[in-house]
Amino acid sequence: MARNEDVTVIKKYANRRLYNTGTSTYVTLENLAAMVKNNEEFVVQDAKTGEDITHSVLTQIIFEQENKGGQNLMPIAFLRQLIRFYGDQMQMVIPGYLEQSMSALAKEQDAFREQMAGAMAQAPIKLMEAQVRRNTEMFRQAMTVFNPFVAGAMSDYDGETSSRGDDTSLSKMHRDDDLKAMREQLQRMQERLEALDTKKDG
């Protein structure tokens, strides 16, 4: 999607109202969400201090979207793992990794949609596991930039059988639990799709 180079300034006032300086109108979080989907660049500033509060407003938009019925994009396993990273030594790497992952997904979204459409009727678990492996590789590459020693340890973990005692076993259990939760969510999604198809046929 083409990127709009014009950046609109949104002012947020003490009464929480949002003012679009480009159109000279008050807007809502829904309006800002639509601007994001239309690839319209904007920054949100505190009307009194001029502080850039774009991050907190975008986070609020995601919170609002996640609370709408049937629109959850972030699996529980992902949210749990994300919370674990706060305050962890890995925290500094996560933003860059997530940005790389989402950028790659955006570039391949058309092909990904076609794969998902075909896989929903065949093997959604295998497709998702392949995506997890690709994301893991991207994570390892990101780690190489920030901490080559940790990246090497991750590579050793993937290439060798378990030989590091209880710590390795615990990490494997966490990963297995995350994959199990992901499989269960995909299974429920497939069951819903099959139910919708049954209703259509009926």
Q: Using the predicted structure, report yes or no on whether residue 14 has a pLDDT greater than 80.
A: yes
pLDDT in tens, 92-115: 888 888 888 888 877 777 777 777
Q: What is the pTM of this model?
A: 0.53
Encoding tokens for residue 166?
């209880």
Report the SS3 class of residue 202: coil
Q: What is the DSSP code string of 115-143?
A: HHHHHTTS-HHHHHHHHHHHHHHHHHHHH
- Tell me if 61 sits within 8 A of 36, measured CB to CB: yes
Encoding tokens for residue 74?
């972030």
Q: Distance from CA of residue 106 to its chain's centroid?
A: 11
- Which of 28-32, 72-76, 109-113, 181-185 is the least confident region? 181-185
Query: Starting at the edge strand that comes first in sequence, how are the strands of the sheet with 7-12 ordered?
Result: 25-27, 18-20, 7-12, 41-46
Helices (H) and strands (E) in the chain, counts: 8, 4
